[in-house]
A and B are shown apart, each in its own frame.
Chain A
Amino acid sequence: MKPYLVLGCDRSASRALADLCRTGYVLPDEVEYRTLPCSGSLDVLYILRAFEQGFERVLVLSCNDDACRSLDGSRRAAQRSARARTLLSEVGVNPRCVSFRQISPTMAADLCIWLDEFVQPLPAEAEPEKAE
């Protein structure tokens, strides 16, 4: 099973990915990409289920704020990604395992960089500061 899951909006992320793949780019082996009809359709449960199934990290790619065809979809996706982070931290999952980014169909080059970052190990969590 692949450890990393990307959930990308059909209107932006999937088009940017298609653009990127036309240049010969191939998704890293560890990454599974799934298209969302609109990032507003993303449910908290969808992210939780991914971790239940064994994914270790999830990247949500949503349209830019003013470009969402459902008007509020990006804002909702951002809210739900934040909620998923809060819930997952309750069960000891590093909240940084859920990332959220906004993208347009013309941002293939940015997507390439983000996917590369996405498969890098997470920096170690900062130790809580010790009381003097």
Chain B
Amino acid sequence: MIVAERKPIAELTSRLAPYRRILVVGCNTCVAVCSAGGAKEVAVTSALLRIALGREHPETRVDETCVERQCEVEMNAELAPSLGNYEVILSMACGVGVQTLAEQFNTAVVIPALNTKFMGRPEGLGEWSERCAGCGNCVLERYAGVCPITRCSKNLLNGPCGGSANGRCEVDPERLPCAWQLIYDRWVALGQLDRYLTNEPAKDWSSSLHGGPRRIQREDIR
């Protein structure tokens, strides 16, 4: 899922200061699961904004709502009838949701409330880790199912570097396992350690964001 976290309230209040009619719009999908922009976080953020903005301008109106998936135009349609009441939308979705609202509705300014961080997974309560950078040409089968692009601090496709010690990454041994130790351990477990010796040629990054904005078109489902 997409993992995000809320911006500091001070940053939001400074962006919202010129406005008196504000609609906070959450998203009930990825950002709800990572406790950043679902109905609960929308309610908490709206309450904080009312307290902060109401001090100087008690007439400021902060309303709140949540759509199922803000990255889909159809699901935002329910917002249209009430949008005339607002000068600004504070989107609590990932960057995709923010852009979808901005593209879809041109009567109100759209401001992001979250910092979209990465594609990752939960590691227990209140912790998420990055697992995929969307490189566009997945090579996980060559790395025993461990992504060296996101999990090795130096993104090494032929590792490890000289800094791997006791299974930990030299960049942050407390927090990070060495991705190449994980790859090694898994090849051992699978009885295919010889694959560890394969030298990978340089990766073609044209399928990634470095190759320009990407789009998928499927004629069969259009």
Contact = CB atoms under 8 A, between A and B. Distances in A.
Interface of A: 44-45, 48-49, 51-52, 87-88, 90-93
Nearest to B43: A45
Interface residues of B, number: 13
Contacts of A90: 8-10, 48
Q: What secondary structure prevails in chain B residues at the interface with A?
A: helix
B47 A48 contact: yes
Interface in B1-27: 8-10, 13
A93 B8 CA distance: 15
B48 A45 contact: no
Given A91-B52, A92-B52, A49 B47 contact: yes
A96 to B, nearest CB: 16
A93 B47 contact: no
Nearest to A83: B44
Given A48-B48, A87-B9, A93-B51, 16 more contacts: A45-B40, A45-B43, A48-B44, A52-B47, A52-B51, A88-B48, A88-B51, A90-B8, A90-B9, A90-B48, A91-B9, A91-B13, A91-B48, A91-B51, A91-B52, A92-B52
Contacts of A48: 44, 47-48, 51
Contacts of A49: 47
B61 interface: no
Contacts of A45: 40, 43-44, 47
21 contacts: A44-B44, A45-B40, A45-B43, A45-B44, A45-B47, A48-B44, A48-B47, A51-B47, A51-B51, A52-B47, A52-B50, A52-B51, A87-B9, A87-B44, A88-B51, A90-B8, A90-B9, A90-B48, A91-B51, A92-B52, A93-B51
Nearest to B47: A48
Contacts, number: 32
B51 to A, nearest CB: 5
Nearest to B10: A90
Interface in B55-102: none
Nearest to B45: A87
Contacts of B44: 44-45, 48, 87
Nearest to B40: A45
Contacts of A93: 51
Nearest to A51: B51
Contacts of B13: 91
Nearest to A43: B40
A33 B186 CA distance: 59
A88 B44 CA distance: 10
Contacts of B40: 45
A49 B54 CA distance: 13
A55 to B, nearest CB: 11
Contacts of A87: 9, 44, 48
A3 to B, nearest CB: 15
A23 B40 CA distance: 42
A51 B47 CA distance: 9
